[in-house]
Amino acid sequence: MPTLWIKNARVIDPAARRDRVGDLFLVDGKIAAAPSAAAKKRAQVIDARGLVACPGLVDIHVHFREPGQTHKETIATGSHCAAAGGFTTVVCMPNTAPVADNAGTIQYINDAIRRDAVVKVYPTGCITVGMKGQALAPIGSLKRAGVVAITDDGDCVQSNELMRRAIEYAKMFDLPVMDHCQDASMTQGAVMNEGVVSTRLGLRGWPNAAEDLIVARNVILSEYTGAHIHLQHISSRFSIEVIRRAKSRGARITAEATPHHIALTEDCLSTYDTNFKMNPPLRTEADRQAIIGGLRDGTLDCVCTDHAPHTDYEKDKEFDYAPNGILGLETSLAVTLDVLVRENKFKLPHVVDLLTRQPAKILGLPAGTLAEGAAADVCLFDPAEKWLYDAKAGFSKSSNSPWHGQTLTGRVRTTIVDGRLVYRDGRLVGR
Catalytic residue positions?
A: 306
- Determine if the peptide bond prior to 67 is cis (ω within 30°): yes
Q: How many angstroms separate the CA atoms of 213 and 242, rounded?
A: 10
Beta bridge partners of residue 58, listed in sequence order: 89
274 close to 317: Cβ distance less than 8 angstroms: yes
Q: How many angstroms separate the CA atoms of 314 and 321, rounded?
A: 9
Q: From 309, 255, 411, select the one nearest 79 (Cα to Cα).
A: 309
Q: How many angstroms separate the CA atoms of 368 and 139, rounded?
A: 27
**Packing angle, helices 237-248 and 285-297, rounded to 10:** 20
Count other Cβ atoms within 10 Å, centred on residue 323.
16
Q: How many angstroms separate the CA atoms of 319 and 231, rounded?
A: 27
Q: From 139, 138, 181, select the one nearest 160 (Cα to Cα).
A: 181
Cβ contacts of 343 within 8 Å, gap of 6 or more: none
Instruction: Give the distance from CA 422 to its chain's centroid.
Output: 20
- Determine if the peptide bond prior to 98 is cis (ω within 30°): yes
